[in-house]
Every structure is written in structure tokens, then in C-alpha cells.
Amino acid sequence: MENISLLQDGTAIMCLGMGFVFTFLAIMVITMNIMSYVIKKINILFPEEIHSAVTYSQKNKATADSDIALAIALAYSQK
């Protein structure tokens, strides 16, 4: 009989702990959703500046290939 009482106490403590965790997580999710809504409304009032991306011109592939070929030829000629 004593073992059944311990099992019931353990089950009650487990359910109580899981209840606290579930309640905490539910409150956290609700709070995050509310904050997301508030941030969206604030972003409408104070929009962020959008910076344009800086693009750099790249060498064309033919020039890069000819530079590589020249470096190989110079290295081979010094051998």
C-alpha cells in the first residue's frame, strides 16, 4: 500500500511540474505574438531606411583566364 502512495505522489508532482511548464510556454508564446503585433504597428509609424546595395564591377572571365595563363607561363619559364 505504501508503494501506491509514493506512485500517486510522484504522478501528482510530475503533473504539477508539466502544468507549470505548459503554462509558462503558453504565456511566452502569447507574449511573443503580442510583441510581434506591436512591433509591426510601430514599424508602420517609424519605417526603417532601406540602403541600396553597393555593387562592384568584376573582371570579365576572359581577362581572369588570361591572367591565370600568364602566371602559369611565368612560373613554368622560371623552372
User: For 23-73, how does the pLDDT look when each residue is reduced to its tens digit (9 = 90+)?
Assistant: 999 999 999 999 999 999 998 888 888 777 776 666 566 677 888 888 888
For residue 71, tell me if it sits in a domain.
no
Residue-range definition of the domain harbouring residue 30: 1-48
pLDDT for 57 equals 62
Q: How many domains does the chain have?
A: 1
For residue 27, tell me if it sits in a domain.
yes
Q: Give the residue-averaged pLDDT of 72-76.
A: 87
For residue 16, tell me if it sits in a domain.
yes
Distance of CA 29 to the CA centre of its chain: 18
For residue 78, tell me if it sits in a domain.
no
Beta strands in the chain (DSSP E): none
For residue 63, tell me if it sits in a domain.
no
For residue 62, tell me if it sits in a domain.
no
pLDDT for 46 equals 85
18-34: burial string, b at 16+ Cβ within 10 Å, e else: eeeeeeeeeeeeeeeee
